[in-house]
Structures are given as structure tokens and as C-alpha cells.
């Protein structure tokens, strides 16, 4: 059985804890590898190597850092096909979706190549007589990323490219469900000329997470995952004096007004709800249909579902692959059952779909007449289940969205520019799409939600990423002529 190791000090490093976890191919249901699960001592060893590397890397010139980022970006683009195959094999998503994930991660590498400009400070000459004041941004040292199974390449790239460009050493703890993508990225960083120890991979489970959160030499932690875990990461990390950004779960609503293009809205709902089997934090899981648009919209969505092709992600004709584990598939199927029992109308039942018998497959489900009291509305299902809630007015629909505990992403479909502008002003969510169902910001903006979808003060990547992975230092300087100084016990003033 192949063994997936750590990456420490610029080389694959076999685990010593004696603990391993299984890695499956979700399309076949077969175990294909074992992954090492790090002990607290192994995390300490990895962080020590990263700390030593950080001291050297922070002194590297901005031009050298940019050169490494440019080379890394070039290698990632050239070998994205290989990485997509790895992602599909361990996660299950179709190859085109894996390629799209890598392309969005590639944007972050491109943004980070601009580090000489991004780290520019400010300068004020003659702030006081003979005194100049200027600010500089400096790296934190060693920072860590704890990333989810659903984007094993993109989310690490959200974090590590900016962190490394800013002069930090980066420790990645990927999901143990699909760990191989992290080692592929490690090899690309090495080939790009990144010094050993600046990018580290620690495979593991909660023991590794807790060791990262408690380690005194890790200055900051980035996390993407479910809300309960995000809250734990934030409270535990900050209790240990760390800077933390923890992105949690979502229940993303798509508001459809009566004037919307029904076909366009239906296409968007199907794409955003069922892409990657719904295992996206930005997936649309609830459509809020306002007024008399509900019936034609539900019919339009339902008419598209029999045409979806579900199969092994390596099949070029497949549009949706399996869920990541057997347990998660069964959990999602249980939500369909509970939704029906609570009174939702099952338009399409994914449990009875004609899907491959091997692997962790589940068909797509469409539920109508969902209400806010139902579990299928309240919980983040993270699977191919789309619920439709009916609202009489825009005001009722807006209140429904704003009352939800999550505030990650949302979208409105309408032909009315005034209504769209009003929605973007009124809605309590961090990312808003106008006739765009999955409004993931481009790399030179930043990604993050509101309310229970984010714990911390900054969003991820882009300008917020530069802010998160650096700290500001302000220098006040004077170069007086010899013999002109004097004693003054008063508080310094500008004059």
C-alpha cells in the first residue's frame, strides 16, 4: 500500500508516530494509499526547520522572492494536468472541475508575483523639523494553513503564495482525505528555487491541528472548513496569542426576482448547486423564489436534472463525480429523507438516481417548499441537494437571507439594476453576485464571509492576505547636525 509522507526541510519525510489514515478513491470506493498522521513531536520538528528557514527567507530580496513566485507560477501552469489527475483520484471531482480549481489558485500565484509593489510602505519627509517618518511591512515568521478536502490545491494556494511572497515560512496541514496534492505543490516550490524549509507539509488529523495551534513559534494560522471547527481554531489559536483567520461554513442563497430570465437562473442554479457534488463552501444550496417566478423556475430546474451525467471524474463525459467518503454520502442522503419527512416536496430524489454502484455516488436532489424550520434549510449539507424557498416579496426574501446564521456568499438574479443595487447594499453577506451564482472574488480582491462564516478580522488572499501575513513597523528618524542636540523632557511634539 503506498504511503503518503510529510514534507520537512525540503524532502519527503516518513512519519514516526506509528499512526496512519486511509486514503480512498471515491469513484471506486477502494483504498489506494495510507497517509502518515503526525504526532505533536513531529509537528515540533517541522516547525523548528521552518523557523530556521524563515530567518533566512525574510532577508531575501523582493526581486528574488518575485523570481521564485514567477517560476512557481510557470511550473504550476505547465503541470496543472498532472495535479488535476491527483485531485480527481483522491477527491472525486471531475477533471474539468479540478482544472478550474487549479486555475483559480494560479491567479493567487500571479497576484503574489507583484510582491515588490504589494509590500511598499509610505514615507513622510519633514513630518517635524528635521524628522522623517516612514512605515514598512515585515513578515511574521512561521505561519500555518489548515485546509479542507474540497479544494486540496486552490485553498493552499490562497494561503501559501501570499505568505511566502511576504517573506514568511509556511506550514501546511492539508486534509487527510486527499493529501497528495500538497506534496505535488511542495515539489513545485522546490523546483522553483524556494529554499528548503520555507514550505512544509505536515500530514495529520486533530493531533497535528492542536499542535499547530499551541506551538509558540507559529505566529498566525489560516483555516477553511466548517463553522464549528472554524470557531474552535479561532478561539484556541487566539488563546495562544496567534493571529487567526478562520473561514467557516455557509448556506448560500440565490434570490430570483419575478423579472429574472428563467432559463439563465435555472442554468445558474443547477451549475452552482451540483458542481463538485455540492462540496463547495460557495455552492448555492437555497433558491429563494419571489412571487410567481417559483413554479416556472422549479420546472426549469427540474427539467435540466435528468440530463446531468454522473460518473467517475476521469470520464470526460461526466459532469459530477462522487462525494468524498461513504460516510458523507450517507449523511447527505439522510438529509433528503429528513427533508421529505419535514414536509418538503421531493421533486428529484438523488437516492434513487441511476449512478455507478461502486464508489460514493449520490444523485442530485431538488426539494421544493422548504421552510426555515427544516434541517435541510438550517444546516450546511455540503452535497448535491438544492432547496427552494418561496417568498411573497423582496422584503420577505431579504429578511430570510439576513436572518440566516451564515453570511458567506449570496446572489440575485434580476433584470432590474436598481433592485440589484439595493440588494448589494442591504444583504448581510461578504460576497455578492449579481446574475453570477458563485461570486468568488478574483485574486486581487479578497475572499471571506460575514457572521458565522468568518472568525477573525481579515478576509483571505489579495490585499487582506498581504495585511494578514505581515505587520507594520513605523520608523521615525532624525539626522541632526553635530552639536545641535539638547535635553528636552517634554512630550515629543511636531513643529
φ, ψ dihedrals at 447, nearest 5°:
-105, 130
CA–CA separation, 172 vs 60, rounded Å? Answer: 21
SS (H, E, C) the chain: CCEECEEECCEEECCCCCCEEEEEECCCCEEEEEEECCCHHHHHHHHHHHHHHHHHHCCCCHHHHHHHHHHHHHHHHHCHHHHHHHHHHHHCCCHHHHHHHHHHHHHHHHHHCCHHHHCCCEEEEEEECCEEEEEEEEECCEEEEECCCCCCCHHHHHHHHHHHHCCCEEEEECCCCCCHHHHHHHHHHHHCCCCCCCEEECCCCHHHHHHHHHCCCEEEEEEECCHHHHHHHHHHHHHCCCEEEEECCCCEEEEECCCCCHHHHHHHHHHHHHHHHHCCCCCEEEEEEEHHHHHHHHHHHHHHHHHCCECCCCCCCCCECCCCCHHHHHHHHHHHHHHHHCCCEEEECHHHCCCCCCCCCCCCEEEECCCCCCHHHHCCCCCCEEEEEEECCHHHHHHHHHHCCEECEEEEECCCHHHHHHHHHHCCCCEEEECCCCCCCCCCCCECCEECCEECCCCECHHHHHHHCEEEEEEEEECCCCCCCCCCCCCCCCC
Spatial contact of 34 and 21, defined as CB atoms under 8 Å apart: yes
Residue owning grid cell 488529523: 205
Task: Name the residue among 89, 84, 82, 95 with its Cα closest to residue 33.
Answer: 89
Q: Which of the residues are catalytic? A: 281
How far CA 409 is from CA of 251, 339, 433, in Å, comes to 8, 23, 8
Amino acid at each position: 500500500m503506498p504511503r503518503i509522507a510529510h514534507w520537512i526541510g525540503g524532502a519527503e519525510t516518513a512519519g514516526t508516530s506509528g499512526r496512519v489514515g486511509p486514503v480512498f478513491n471515491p469513484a471506486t470506493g477502494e483504498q489506494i494509499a495510507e497517509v502518515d498522521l503526525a504526532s505533536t513531536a513531529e509537528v515540533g520538528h517541522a516547525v523548528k526547520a521552518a523557523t530556521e528557514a524563515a530567518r533566512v527567507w525574510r532577508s531575501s530580496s523582493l526581486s528574488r522572492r518575485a523570481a521564485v513566485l514567477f517560476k512557481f507560477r510557470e511550473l504550476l501552469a505547465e503541470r496543472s494536468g498532472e495535479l488535476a489527475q491527483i485531485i480527481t483520484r483522491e477527491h472525486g471531482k471531475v477533471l474539468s472541475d479540478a482544472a478550474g480549481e487549479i486555475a483559480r489558485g494560479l491567479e493567487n500565484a500571479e497576484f503574489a508575483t507583484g510582491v515588490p509593489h504589494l509590500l511598499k510602505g509610505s514615507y513622510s519627509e519633514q513630518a517635524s523639523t528635521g524628522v522623517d517618518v516612514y512605515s514598512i511591512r515585515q513578515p511574521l515568521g512561521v505561519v500555518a494553513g489548515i485546509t479542507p478536502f474540497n479544494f486540496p490545491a486552490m485553498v493552499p494556494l490562497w494561503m501559501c503564495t501570499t505568505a511566502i511572497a511576504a517573506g514568511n515560512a509556511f506550514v501546511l496541514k492539508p486534509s487527510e482525505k486527499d493529501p497528495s496534492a500538497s506534496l505535488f505543490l511542495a515539489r513545485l516550490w522546490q523546483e522553483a528555487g524556494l529554499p528548503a524549509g520555507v514550505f512544509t507539509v505536515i500530514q495529520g488529523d486533530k493531533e497535528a491541528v492542536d499542535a499547530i495551534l499551541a506551538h509558540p513559534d507559529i505566529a498566525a494560522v489560516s483555516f477553511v472548513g466548517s463553522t464549528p471547527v472554524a470557531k474552535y481554531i479561532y478561539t484556541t489559536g487566539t488563546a495562544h496569542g496567534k493571529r487567526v483567520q478562520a473561514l467557516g461554513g455557509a448556506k448560500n442563497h440565490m434570490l430570483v426576482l419575478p423579472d429574472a430570465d428563467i432559463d439563465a437562473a435555472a442554468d445558474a442554479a443547477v451549475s452552482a448547486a451540483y458542481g463538485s457534488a455540492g462540496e463547495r463552501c460557495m455552492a448555492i444550496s437555497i433558491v429563494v423564489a419571489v412571487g410567481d417566478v417559483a413554479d416556472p423556475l422549479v420546472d426549469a430546474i427540474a427539467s435540466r436534472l435528468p440530463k446531468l451525467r454522473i460518473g467517475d471524474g476521469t470520464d470526460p463525459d461526466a459532469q459530477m463525480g462522487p462525494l468524498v467518503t461513504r460516510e458523507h454520502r450517507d449523511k447527505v442522503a439522510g438529509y433528503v429523507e429528513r427533508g421529505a419527512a419535514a414536509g418538503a416536496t421531493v421533486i428529484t430524489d438523488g437516492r434513487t438516481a441511476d449512478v455507478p454502484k461502486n464508489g460514493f455516488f449520490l444523485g442530485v436532489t431538488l426539494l421544493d417548499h422548504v421552510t426555515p424550520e427544516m434541517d435541510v434549510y438550517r444546516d450546511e449539507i455540503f452535497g448535491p441537494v438544492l432547496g427552494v424557498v418561496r417568498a411573497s416579496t423582496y422584503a420577505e426574501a431579504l429578511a430570510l437571507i439576513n436572518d440566516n446564521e451564515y453570511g458567506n456568499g449570496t446572489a440575485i438574479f434580476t433584470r432590474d439594476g436598481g433592485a440589484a443595487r439595493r440588494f448589494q447594499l442591504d444583504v448581510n453577506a461578504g460576497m455578492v453576485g449579481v446574475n453570477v451564482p458563485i461570486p468568488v472574488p478574483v485574486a486581487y480582491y479578497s475572499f471571506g464571509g460575514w457572521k458565522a462564516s468568518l472568525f477573525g478580522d481579515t478576509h483571505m488572499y489579495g490585499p487582506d492576505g498581504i495585511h494578514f501575513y505581515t505587520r507594520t513597523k513605523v520608523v521615525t528618524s532624525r539626522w541632526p547636525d553635530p552639536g545641535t542636540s539638547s535635553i528636552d523632557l517634554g512630550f515629543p511634539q511636531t513643529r
